[in-house]
Amino acid sequence: MLNTASNRERSILVGVTLQASGRERTREYLQELTLLADTAGAEVVAQIIQERHAIDAAFYIGKGKAEEIAFLVQEKDATLVIFDDDLSAVQVRNLQKLFKVKILDRSGVILSIFASRARTREAKTQVELAQLQYMLPRLTRQWTHLSKQYGGIGTKGPGETQIETDRRVLRTRIGTLKEKLAQIDRERAIQRKGREHFTRIALVGYTNAGKSTVLNWFAAADVLAEDRLFATLDSTVRLVTLSPVHVVLLSDTVGFIRKLPHHLVASFKSTLDEVREADMLLHVVDVSHPLFEEQMTVVNETLDDIGAAGKPTIIVFNKIDRLANRNVVGYLTSNHPDAAFVSATRGIGMNALQERLITILDAEVVEQEINVSHKDYAIIARIHEAGEVLSKEYEGEMVRLRFRMRKVLVERLLKQ
């Protein structure tokens, strides 16, 4: 976290538009950056939008504009300047010389939020890895004394500069964290293998779209659901009974966002495997957001990046109770005829969504008969858990079960 509520850093936000027609969109992006800054613990005291034909390699916004912002930093008594795009190490160094305050870009703010929200061993390890990978190419004098944090015998060789030492310390720590995550990934894979006899449905969507609220409705759970960006980091999985024959595993994962740091996506691999290995996706969209269509595109691109595109998906347009223009529903219905329109907070449309899920899953249900030893408790239990038992006949040491179950689950069961 950047700071506590009682000592919030005074920040100036900076965005660049490369064409005059994009100024309004850049303004919307800065509004999202304002929410990110607030979540991280900063108070926004000014917003600057600079129009340019191209990004300046040395100062990002050009030296003249940078000097104007340096004056504004003093005028507003700001302690932090946040840029909406990622900055290079050269840009950070040059801007710091002018501003003489801390410089962060969008990725740095997102990583700060993730670090403050991480609760489990896995999330903390994932976030630390992403932070160090982000920090490595941006090392300046502000990162000195890393060797004191991770130091000891062998952390500095003859003739090394402090930054070279810091880089070596970071690389060593990155290697250690990657080994930890590899072990966590193996543990996760074993856990997921034990759940293969259930249909797996993953909630995906832009951050703050309402995924956790949807999960809470289905599972009568109490997963944290705040009207704030990145309220949920760790994946949450709940067993949900949709009907006697459809007991599913519903998982809620971290929300996506525009310009989600690459290192963060990579380090959250084991968490995002819940999405990759799901049988179906519920793409939750905050339809009340002015840029919801762009947010949908960001989610779809992220799904493609992590190898989860092309799965059976239901688009869930959430927060319809907040729509000022009801004509939006008609427009979306014509463009997305299979979508669901809900308000998860108020329960509007949620029963219809559940019926839609049951109908889709029913289309893949088959009847199956199997002979197993009555001592094979594991298989018998799985059939009762994930299917509907129609009949049961005992013949000596064997039991004949006739049941209804989704075809894909039958295939998984017979492979064991």
- E strand spans, 246-349: 246-252, 280-286, 313-318, 340-341
Are 408 and 368 contacting, i.e. CB atoms less than 8 angstroms apart?
Answer: no
- E strand spans, 127-271: 199-205, 236-243, 246-252
Beta-bridge partners for 237: 251
Kindly state the helix (H) or strand (E) to which residue 214 belongs, with its residue range.
helix 211-219
Name the percent of the chain in helix, strand, coil, to the closest 5: 50, 25, 30
Integer Cα distance of 374 and 403 in angstroms: 16
Q: Distances from the Cα of 402 to the Cαs of 110, 178, 197, 366, 389, in angstroms?
A: 52, 47, 17, 11, 6
Give the tokens for residue 67. 């000097």
Are 182 and 371 contacting, i.e. CB atoms less than 8 angstroms apart?
Answer: no
Alpha carbon of residue 177 to chain centroid: 20
Judge residue 102's burial from the number of C-beta atoms within 10 Å of its C-beta, 0-12 exposed, 13-18 middle, 19 or more buried: middle
Beta-bridge partners for 249: 200, 239
Please write the tens of the pLDDT for every residue from 190-239. Answer: 776 666 678 899 999 998 899 989 999 999 876 655 655 666 666 788 98
| Averaged pLDDT, groups of 10, the chain, 416 residues long | 65 90 85 91 94 93 95 95 92 92 90 82 84 79 46 42 78 91 81 73 93 91 62 76 86 85 72 85 95 94 90 95 88 93 96 94 87 85 84 89 85 76
pTM of the model: 0.78
Integer Cα distance of 239 and 251 in angstroms: 9
3-state SS assignment for residue 234: coil
Give the pLDDT score at 147: 46
Integer Cα distance of 169 and 181 in angstroms: 19
Judge residue 347's burial from the number of C-beta atoms within 10 Å of its C-beta, 0-12 exposed, 13-18 middle, 19 or more buried: exposed
Under CATH, to which class is 5-112 assigned?
A: alpha beta
Are 5-112 and 195-362 in the same CATH fold? Answer: yes
Give the tokens for residue 137. 């190419």
Integer Cα distance of 285 and 201 in angstroms: 16
Alpha carbon of residue 184 to chain centroid: 18
Domain locations in the chain as residue ranges = 5-112, 118-192, 195-362, 365-415
> Comparing C-alpha atoms, which of 274, 191, 279, 241 is closest to residue 384?
241
- E strand spans, 18-122: 42-51, 80-83, 102-105
The topology (CATH level 3) of 195-362 is: Rossmann fold (3.40.50)
Give the tokens for residue 385. 């858990």
